[in-house]
Structure 1
Amino acid sequence: MKRFKEKTVIITGADSDIGRATALRFAQEGANCIIVGINSDILGYIYEDLPQDHTWINTGNHLTVTSDINDPTQTARLVEHVLEKYNHIDVMVNIDTAVGIHQSVIPELIKTKGNIVNISALTDLSADWSIDTYKAEQSKLTELTKKLALENIPNNVRINAVTAGFVTTDVSSNPFVTHSPLGKTATPFDVTAAVMFLASDDAAIITGLNLPVDGGVSTFTN
């Protein structure tokens, strides 16, 4: 059973490893994926990997959109473009991007009783990185998620988040690993598994949750 068959899913910040993994998983589970980012070449490569439903003759059942979602004008055009092709929006996955787009998409999610999953991930560790900084960012996302979720409970729109810690396909050691009780960091697949759960009807009773996918780092400070 494909959990997202005929669902329309917008993925922002999709021109990334997490974006690619997320789009692929949603497409495999039947969704129409709108992959949004600022790098059109990367979006094109991701699009080519997505499985197609061949009932969508000539037009394909997925869409790439090169857009800066921090620009309200571009965001409005994005939503208009999606509705022209699919008529509805069911899920938005927001990868390391501003939440301002919520105000444009939520009116459509109200119609479908849809949901949003925000993702905060470390894909690069700067020289001044620290576990305290990570914990502070995690706390900030938790509070924001709760606030947005409470505001939209009357609208039957669920809003959750995933704090992904340091995400890499490289198994070599890194500073984040030293804080991980499980002794490893998350991969894009790990992050996507959590997103798929929160976006699905399996999590129909869950809202306002920030789910850490970080090897247990969130449970310890040192």
Structure 2
Amino acid sequence: MSRSVFVTGGNRGIGLAIARAFQASGDKVAITCRSGEAPEGMLAVRCDVTDQAAVDKAFEEVEAQHGPVEVLVANAGITRDQLLMRMSEEDFLSVLDANLGGAFRVAKRASRGMLRKRAGRIITISSAVALRGEAGQSNYAASKAGLIGFTRSLARELGSRGITCNVVAPGLTDTAMAAALASERQAAMIEQIPLRRLGQPEEIAAAVHFLASDAAAYVTGAVLPVDGGAAMGH
């Protein structure tokens, strides 16, 4: 059966690959984006995940066209990298609000319909950085590590209602974010990955798609690293 799938930050990179994977399996896919056009066949809604009113409005649009959200992928996030001694409080808190606070807002809103239906899938996108740390990314690592505790707590709260909650933790992936790194920096990071290459967005999407499938109905509270071995699990 075609499900109502909502992917935040689904207009590019990993989020877009996730959205396309669900679309390919026949699901009704909605994504959030702050600019640009929607990929063909998808519903795009404007949404700032740091704004609860915007989140509520986005869900209302998705529900009106696709029905209650049955699969939520909380993927939207930002980076503001800087060494601790140079990092402003604004840069620290803004990353936490977008990456962790954003997941809280969309998961809370999505859970309404899931609780009524007594079924659902919530998947948050963390990072290998949450598991191993990275210099200059203390804000990002804190936000992504927070997602693990947040999602596992949801798994305990919502499991009795048939709702699974899991985490996918990508490593360095071939996206615009990786392309923006200096070539020397990228090469040094790849050298630390046992498989010695970047991940592909489609590989992350495959893990997310699995966790949302019937085959993963008995998987909840899990952290699935897709990082070429960079963080060696958690």
Compare 172-181 and 200-209 and name the one that shifted more. 172-181
SS at match of 1:166: coil
Which residue of structure 2 lines up, in the alignment, with residue 93 of structure 1?
A: 73
Which residue of structure 2 lines up, in the alignment, with residue 185 of structure 1?
A: 198
Q: Paired residue for 1:174, among 182, 187, 199?
A: 187
Q: Paired residue for 1:6, among 2, 9, 14?
A: 2
Which residue of structure 1 lines up, in the alignment, with residue 21 of structure 2?
A: 25
**Any conservation in 2 of the 1:14–1:37 contact (CA below 8 Å)?**
yes
**Any conservation in 1 of the 2:126–2:145 contact (CA below 8 Å)?**
no
In 1, the alpha carbon distance for the partners of 2:140 and 2:196 equals 17
RMSD over equivalenced CA pairs, Å:
2.8
Which residue of structure 2 lines up, in the alignment, with residue 196 of structure 1?
A: 209
How many residues are aligned here? 197
In 2, the alpha carbon distance for the partners of 1:176 and 1:82 equals 39
CA offset at residue 84 of structure 1? Answer: 1.4
**Any conservation in 1 of the 2:34–2:46 contact (CA below 8 Å)?**
yes
In 1, the alpha carbon distance for the partners of 2:196 and 2:148 equals 24
Which residue of structure 1 lines up, in the alignment, with residue 115 of structure 2?
A: 110
**Equivalent runs, 1:123-138 vs 2, <5 Å:** 128-129=135-136
Which residue of structure 2 lines up, in the alignment, with residue 68 of structure 1?
A: 48
Q: Paired residue for 1:79, among 46, 53, 59?
A: 59
CA offset at residue 24 of structure 1? Answer: 1.1
Write the letter of the residue equivalent to 1:32. K
In 2, the alpha carbon distance for the partners of 1:168 and 1:146 equals 28
Which residue of structure 2 lines up, in the alignment, with residue 164 of structure 1?
A: 170
In 2, the alpha carbon distance for the partners of 1:111 and 1:7 equals 16
In 1, the alpha carbon distance for the partners of 2:68 and 2:152 equals 25
**Any conservation in 1 of the 2:45–2:61 contact (CA below 8 Å)?**
no
In 2, the alpha carbon distance for the partners of 1:12 and 1:134 equals 17
In 2, the alpha carbon distance for the partners of 1:135 and 1:36 equals 23
Match status 1:47 vs 2:39? yes
Write the letter of the residue equivalent to 1:118. T
CA 1:24–1:181: 2 relative to 1, 3 Å: same
**Any conservation in 2 of the 1:135–1:218 contact (CA below 8 Å)?**
no
Q: Gapped runs of 5+ residues in structure 2?
A: 78-98
Which residue of structure 2 lines up, in the alignment, with residue 56 of structure 1?
A: none
Q: Gapped runs of 5+ residues in structure 1?
A: 51-61
Match status 1:15 vs 2:11? yes
Write the letter of the residue equivalent to 1:15. N
In 2, the alpha carbon distance for the partners of 1:187 and 1:111 equals 36
Write the letter of the residue equivalent to 1:209. A
Percent identity, please. 29
CA 1:15–1:110: 2 relative to 1, 3 Å: same
Write the letter of the residue equivalent to 1:19. G
CA offset at residue 122 of structure 1? Answer: 7.8
In 2, the alpha carbon distance for the partners of 1:191 and 1:129 equals 24
TM-score (structure 2 length as normaliser): 0.74
CA 1:135–1:128: 2 relative to 1, 3 Å: closer
CA offset at residue 178 of structure 1? Answer: 1.8
